[in-house]
Structure 1
Amino acid sequence: MRPWLRIFLIGLGLWVATVVVTTVTANSTLIPTLVLLGSFLVPVTFVVWAHGRDRSPDITVELLFNCFVIGGVLGVLGASALETWLLKPSLVIFLGVGLIEEGVKLAALLFVTRHLLRRTARDGLVLGGTVGFGFAAFESAGYAFNALFTEDGLSLRQLVETEVLRGILAPVGHGLWTAIIGGVLFAAHGRLTGKVIMAYLGVALLHALWDSMNAIAIGLTLVFTGQSWQFSQLRIGRVPRVTEQQVHLYTVLDWGGLLLISVIGLLWLRSIARAPTVRVVEGR
């Protein structure tokens, strides 16, 4: 059995067992175990999978660990600080989030790999993806923790649902976007060239569209199927009732948009991975 698959199956089994035991015993001390297992399972699995496909001698276990933990934590801390200081509620807030989060992950990747002498685009894909998955793991742990608390007390169901959803979407989120930036960065020998800046802006746009897809789907649903009485209620600040047709259309637009963004990102990643491999040694 492949290492990544073994890690995933064992981790999934432990997570399911933790869910069952926590539910049966109502033992709140197991919640940190549940949060960490659920949040880190998919990101760690994909890092092991990516490393197994490349097998570059320059990508050591120590470097992967540094990218995942140090890069991930620095990214989360930087994003939290900058979003708190710089962002205010507005129509472009999601674009601001995309620019900040992709920027701090790029900075974290540059910092962790600053001593790396040899670089290839494929190494950048792996290391960039590792930083992104580290960011996703720590961020997901925070979302899962927040989902636990409701007006009616602790909700194990909401915690589990949050971890399952974020686990499913993790491969086409932070890991994919930072892998793209890493691949372009390493192809540029670790320098912030025009191509790297354009890749950063492009990935930030995909990130912003991903985060805002819920609002976009709602807006498009109203444009296509909105009734006059619904617009009247919106104008006076009320949330109108929705029809069954609108619920179905919203769901199709929301998930269809996420799928389209994912396909664009994966095709972009594929084009970088298929580019001719040129290994550059700094200082030569």
Structure 2
Amino acid sequence: MVDVVRDQGSVPRPTRRMWLRIFLVGLALWVATVVVIFLTGNPNLIPTLVLLGSFLVPVTFVVWAFERRGTGELTAGLIFSTFLTGGVLGVLGASVLESYLLHPSPWLFFGVGLIEEGVKFVALMVLTRHLRTRSLRDGMILGAAVGFGFAAFESAGYAFTALFTVDGLSIIQLVQSELIRGLLAPVGHGLWTAILGGILFATSRRGRFTITGKLVLSYLGVSILHGLWDSMHSIALYLTLLLTEGERLRPSPQGWLIEPSAEQVNLFSILQWVGLAVISIIGIAWLIVLWRRSARLDRVAPPIHVPPSVYGTGR
């Protein structure tokens, strides 16, 4: 009996480390594309570069998470649909809501966090409402799929925007944008939505998603982490001005501009990266706690089974 359960909850050996093969092959293709673009100057390769660089890390992490799924109902097709559809719906919904609801203010980035985490959360609920079996681990994996899908499409937009400068097209800025966002992708959208997805599935009751106090607090928590992440540049700048003396301000048509000293530039960089590191550590620690809890739950109790009658179908 133990062997059967173990076989059902494990991933066939040939699919293990598929994420590593995908990452290495994708990275080689991305590097080759960069080299060929610089050698030939062929602008037709720019879409290839944007897509490879934007989707490589998100897809890799989704495959890594899929290999650690808890139930057999979590199929590759479901993961792909939540990644693609959830990502597009999230980006479109966030764009519309941010355009109409947000205005320049000190709290702008926290509004962005509330909106983007909210639309990803709703997309996850809509795409997974018909699942018969729900476990904390599967909720984390599906949440990560939606979050990384959002991150991939968002990164593609930032990479495309970075291409255009006052001096014309800049492949260097595009590559720099993809490198930075690729390195930071694992501790961004995928991480936050994985946390929220796990708690959403864990708090399901009688076959329905239930909005509980714990779920609301978790939503606010990941939104705050998101807002702090996005506003870290401004926070680091403010702290730099507060901690240093003799900063030089000069008027300009755009307002007051600062001429930073070398000390200020170094301090600003340190504060910004330390702040991002602290936010990342908090998110990762939260995720690890949930993941370990999911492992304990899998040992002592089966995942929540949703009766087919809940949906009024024979599924």
Higher RCO (Cα < 8 Å, 6 or more apart):
1
Secondary structure (helix, strand or coil) at the match of 2:123 reads helix
Is the contact made by 2:141 and 2:194 (CA closer than 8 Å) also made in structure 1? yes
Task: Work out whether residues 113 and 223 of structure 2, in 8 Å CA contact, stay in contact via their aligned partners in 1.
Answer: yes
**AA in 2 matched with 1:61:** A
Partner of 1:56: 71
Q: Which of 82, 101, 111 is matched with 2:97 structurally?
A: 82
1:165: which partner in 2? 180
Residues 136-179 of structure 1 deviation map (CA, whole Å, 9 limit, x = unaligned): 00000000000001111100000000000000000000000000
The TM-score, its normalising length taken from structure 2, stands at 0.86
SS of equivalent to 1:274? helix
Normalised to the residue count of structure 1, the TM-score between the two structures is: 0.96
Post-superposition shift, 1:231? 6.3
Inter-partner Cα distance in structure 2 for 1:34 and 1:226:
44
How far does the alpha carbon of each residue in 1:25-51 deviate from its partner, in whole angstroms, 9 at most, with x for none? 111111111000000000000000011
Deviation at 1:58, TM superposition (A): 1.5
- Could you list the per-position Cα deviations for residues 62-82 of structure 1 after superposition, in whole angstroms to 9, with x for gaps in the alignment? 110111000000000000000
Residue 237 (structure 1) shift: 3.6
Contiguous gaps of at least 5 residues in structure 2 = 1-15, 311-315
The alpha-carbon deviation at position 226 of structure 1 amounts to 3.1
C-alpha RMSD over aligned residues: 1.6
Partner of 1:71: 86
Note the C-alpha offset of 1:244. Answer: 1.1
1:246 aligns with 2:270: no
The answer to whether the aligner puts 1:117 opposite 2:132 as a matched pair is yes
**Offset at residue 185 of structure 1 (A):** 0.5
Partner of 2:306: 282
State the identity as a percent: 59
After the TM superposition, list the runs of 4 or more consecutive aligned residues in structure 1 that deviate by more than 4 angstroms.
231-234
* Larger displacement relative to structure 2 (47-56 or 82-91): 47-56
Instruction: Return the index of the structure with the highest Cα Rg.
Output: 2
Aligned residues: 282
Cα distance between partner residues in 1 of 2:39 and 2:274? 37
Report what 1:177 is aligned to.
192
1:272 aligns with 2:290: yes
By how many angstroms is 1:56 displaced?
Answer: 2.6
1:148 aligned residue: 163
Structure 1 unaligned blocks of 5 or more: none
